[in-house]
Chains A and B, each alone.
Chain A
Amino acid sequence: MAYDKFTILKSSAVPMPIENVDTDQIIPARFLKATERKGFGDNLFRDWRYNGDNTPKQDFVLNNPLYTGKILVGGKNFGSGSSREHAAWAIYDYGFRCVVSSFFADIFKGNALNVGILPVTVSPAFLDKIFTAIEADPKAELVVDLPAQTITIAATGEQESFDINSYKKHNLTNGFDDIDYLQAMKGEIQEFASKSMY
């Protein structure tokens, strides 16, 4: 699936200082019944965002007009649970391009990268600084610079580096995906498969 190239993102951010945000919260299972990839953003955080009668829960951050932007900032162990890529689709479809946390669950992190969302892992101390900055000013901007591998709180200039392997970085900055890569090495795979005992 094609996605927008990712280079430098400057945006305000939506804070969600909750630990263990699991993929059942990001998109509950009952919304996984589509056979196409569209419209998942409408049900992002469905049960935290809406009451049973579909009215918005006023105290949930996505329903607070003060907080907007293309960056979601979550607590430790973001994206735990199910392998559903729908969670990443919902986040992308809603309009986020980057998720920041001090710790990501593995499968979610891989899925995010595969759909064009940049997961940025920062130290717990820097995560606190981001939450503090947004608390002080809901429009506080973060600058996520993928080529430089840095994230900066614009107002204070506080900055931290983040890790990403050069293969994935190259893919994201160019809008490439793994399928392109694998298709280009089918011969090598065919030969490998011919020696497989299974």
Chain B
Amino acid sequence: MSKVPATLFDKVWDSHVVRKIEDGPDVFFIDRHFIHEVTSPVAFLGLENRGLKVMFSERTFATADHNTPTINQHLPVQDPLSANQLKALETNSAKYGISHWGLGNPKNGIVHVVGPENGITLPGMTIVCGDSHTSTHGAFGAIAFGIGTSEVEMVLSSQCIMQPKPKKMRINVNGQLGKGITPKDVVLYIISRLTAAGATGYFVEYAGEVFRNMSMEGRMTVCNMSIEMGARGGMIAPDDTTFAYIKGREKAPKGEAWDKALAYWKTLKTDEGATFDVEYTYEAADIEPMITYGTNPGMGMGITQHIPAAQAAGGSKASYEKSLDYMGFHENDSMLGKKVDYVFIGSCTNGRIEDFRAFASIVKGRKKADHITAWIVPGSHIVEQQIREEGILDILTAAGFQLRQPGCSACLAMNDDKIPAGKYAVSTSNRNFEGRQGPGARTMLASPLVAAAAAVTGVVTDPRELIA
């Protein structure tokens, strides 16, 4: 008897359902749980109030990232509220026996950077965290998504959450990416086509030549932003690129366990004939360096294009105008040549070594524009170390840039890294919402190459003009 063809998503989801509730959610088992200082304290308080214990402390990993400073991390944290949250994470982790990589720990960094780089994230796993960019881990063929604090409490106390199974979407991108086109451009392009709500209710599988040829860092960038089109998560079938990335990492399986895991991981792909609820296909040749012009990530365009008119953009005209007003932009404006005040490279979207290599490739032999303030923030201490070892720091320093210490930083501006009101930032992060990078801050999302081009020219610039 032949088996019914299944998608990668079905295979991983169905193998983690503990119980199906009729006309209700699935009781869904979680293999790995990441926690950080902002969305976990109230969950621990909930445990206390109910007198509950942590069921499997070895399945949860804690790291401090959201409100940590990115300079002088050896000094006490100045903001008493941030310090209090960091202390709570440390105390709660110690109390319940949870592994904790706090500020100053050599393993510390952004949760979605440190999970993969330490081999905690593996194919076929279910992974959650009280952070919507948990979708990042889908790059390994895991089902990974963000949860609320009530669900953090559920995972701590029962290693399960209650989730209705999402619908399935496949997004294919065929062909070869052109010069200067990065994974960030691919995902910003997809979101600009589907809109910020276009994948709500779905779980995405990314497929096609572009993703097969992409590095793990690039795949993480793409899966990271799945939530920005409303999808709970996105995933890519694991392959030799995935296995090579994982092999030898600290918490990855070794020896016989590796062989056994590898045999299983090789089955994690969508069977021929399996069906999706919806499928989209794009051509790599149509993608150019992308930049956003509005206040949601769906408001993106090719860098050589003009800001679309409200009618062409879809949605309500009033909301569209509110968005452009906030940005100080107008319909039909060219983005090229617009003045930039701040450049931010970092975050769980573009805070990995490959991103800093890309940034350095453009600034090498050039100088930071005088009026630009640049925040260069590695995703983890391990990334920071790589930046030093590969000579990238020397390139940055020679060009007039300074390297900061790891953390979420200006992506959500919970710490002091806030873009001032009215100022324009080209940012490699994931959200251009009003005030996301500081009250009144105006964000243009882009790739590390576009960020680097803006950093050295001081204006929005097509990076292809600066690539030899």
Contacts and interface: CB of A to CB of B under 8 A. Distances in A.
Interface string B259-289: 0110010000000000000000000000000
Contact of A83 (B41, B55, B131): B131
Interface string A9-43: 00000000111101011001110111111000000
Contacts of A80: 196-197, 230, 296
Contact of A182 (B41, B148, B154): B154
B249 interface: no
A35 B41 contact: yes
B50 interface: yes
A34 B81 contact: yes
SS of B interface (majority): loop
B350 interface: no
A35 B434 contact: no
A107 B45 CA distance: 21
Given A75-B316, A81-B431, A178-B162, A33 B67 contact: yes
A6 interface: no
Given A37-B42, A182-B157, A198-B31, A114 B150 contact: yes
Contacts of B232: 106-107
Nearest to B45: A36
Interface stretch (B15-23, B364-372, B456-464): B15-23
Interface in A143-198: 165-168, 177-179, 181-183, 185-186, 188-189, 192-193, 196-198
Contacts of B32: 198
A25 to B, nearest CB: 6
Interface size range on A against B: 35 or more
A142 interface: no
B110 to A, nearest CB: 15
B200 A83 contact: no
Contact of B439 (A28, A77, A104, A181): A28
A18 B315 CA distance: 10
Contacts of B25: 165, 167-168
A84 interface: yes
A117 to B, nearest CB: 12
B160 A77 contact: no
Interface string B65-109: 011000000000001011011001000000000000000000000
Interface in A80-96: 80-86, 88
A33 B148 contact: no
A2 B273 CA distance: 46
Interface string B110-134: 0000000000001011000011101
Contacts of B149: 85-86, 111
A47 B434 contact: yes
B421 A52 contact: yes
Interface in B230-266: 230, 232, 260-261, 264
A69 interface: no
A114 B151 contact: yes
Nearest to B46: A1
8 contacts: A1-B46, A29-B412, A77-B196, A77-B197, A85-B148, A183-B157, A189-B18, A192-B29
Interface of A: 1, 17-20, 22, 24-25, 28-30, 32-37, 47, 52, 75-77, 80-86, 88, 103-107, 110-111, 114-115, 165-168, 177-179, 181-183, 185-186, 188-189, 192-193, 196-198
Given A106-B166, A185-B18, A189-B29, 12 more contacts: A17-B318, A18-B318, A30-B413, A33-B81, A35-B45, A77-B230, A80-B196, A81-B227, A86-B149, A106-B201, A167-B162, A188-B18
